[in-house]
Structure 1
Amino acid sequence: MATLAEPLLMTVAQYRELPHREDVIEELHCGRLVALTRPKMKHVRLQQRLVAVLTPLATDKGIIAAEVPFRALPEYELRGADVAFVSHLRWAAADDEDNLPGSPELVIEVLSASNTKAEMREKATLCLTNGAEEFWIVHPKRKTVTVMRRSGASTVYEERDVIPIPLFETSMRVASIFE
């Protein structure tokens, strides 16, 4: 009787040797190539708004950037954060010819129609166990931000709320993201 062979896991080195498609964003999840749809402009605008709102709050601590590629686990993971905060120390130490090792200290995902709860939970767990202090999910339709912390705490902030940001030793109004 024939048995099904387990699929071979792809390493980041092997991934980098592949020809890449222009019509999708490709990431490596647990050694498997995953094609993601390109974001719509409303998604991109919200990413840029997050960068604009967070940058003045984080300037003395680190860098806020959109579409940050990172390797939460060195061999079989290569993902991107919609928006991320990386400390000045880690940003300066990152190899220009590689991707950020580990997860950014803050990973922010803007929820899209193609995202599932399971995908968001899995990415949050991956990030929070590999360097992230916080993982945010921004829900554009509900105008909420779910903040998950490494401690296991999870809070949903609504448009009228203020989010404490311990990494920056400050806070911000949720409404400022959606203005």
Structure 2
Amino acid sequence: MNWAAICKDPTLENLPYKIETNRKGQIVMSPASNEHGIYQSLISSMLFNLKTGGIVISECSILTGDGVKVADVAWLSEQFFKKHRKKTPYQVAPELCVEIISPSNTVNEMLEKTDLYLAKGAKEVWILNAKGEIHFFDNSGKIKKSALFPNFPKKISY
């Protein structure tokens, strides 16, 4: 099943799961908790307030070397958005992809997603762990802070 068909399938609407695909096009689902949603909202609003220009979106679908993955939050520059607009999934990753670890995720899964997003053109990938700590990555590996959003905190709490 391709991504467009998945998005149009009425039986897959309003699920309490995040849907992605693997490289074979098979649907992979992972449950999201309310805490996950809270962090997603907090990160989105903080990014919106820190950056002039660009677009912050949640649930950003990206075609990777291992199927369609969905970044929990993404920031797209105006240039990226003008070029790619409303394509679904994006064939390249936006500049920033953020993943929030859910109880069903492993650190290795998140590191694999980091590599997939960077390979598709992301400038940075952030991983937020269960303690609210953010780990920043770029093509060189783990970095101390974001170059795109240098004032973004290393920990979020609510």
Deviation readout 1:11-62 (Å, 9 max, x if unpaired): 54675676653544321221241332331111101100001111122223x2
Identify the residue that residue 69 of structure 1 maps to in structure 2.
61
Identify the residue that residue 173 of structure 1 maps to in structure 2.
153
CA contact (8 A) 2:61 2:69 kept: yes
2:93 partner SS: coil
Q: Which amino acid aligns with 1:37?
A: S
Highest relative contact order (Cα 8 Å, sep 6+), 1 or 2? 2
Deviation at 1:174, TM superposition (A): 2.5
Q: Does 2:137 match 1:148?
A: yes
CA contact (8 A) 1:15 1:28 kept: no
Distance 1:71 1:173, change over 3 A: same
Residues 101-112 of structure 1: pairs in structure 2 closer than 5 A: 101-112=91-102
Deviation readout 1:125-148 (Å, 9 max, x if unpaired): 11111111111110132x311111
1:178 partner SS: coil
Distance 1:97 1:125, change over 3 A: closer
Residues 46-125 of structure 1: pairs in structure 2 closer than 5 A: 46-60=39-53, 62-73=54-65, 77-96=67-86, 98-125=88-115
- Provide the aligned length of Structure 1 versus Structure 2: 156
Distance 1:13 1:37, change over 3 A: closer
Distance 1:58 1:101, change over 3 A: farther
Unmatched segments (≥5 aa) in structure 1: 1-9, 156-162
2:117 partner SS: helix
Q: CA RMSD in A?
A: 2.5
1:127 partner SS: helix
TM-score (norm 2): 0.82
**Which stretch has the larger CA shift, 123-132 or 20-29?**
20-29
Unmatched segments (≥5 aa) in structure 2: none
Identify the residue that residue 33 of structure 1 maps to in structure 2.
26
Q: Which amino acid aligns with 1:167?
A: L
Deviation at 1:119, TM superposition (A): 1.3
Identity %: 27
TM-score (norm 1): 0.74
Deviation readout 1:103-144 (Å, 9 max, x if unpaired): 121111111110012211211111111111111110132x31
Higher-Rg member (1/2): 1
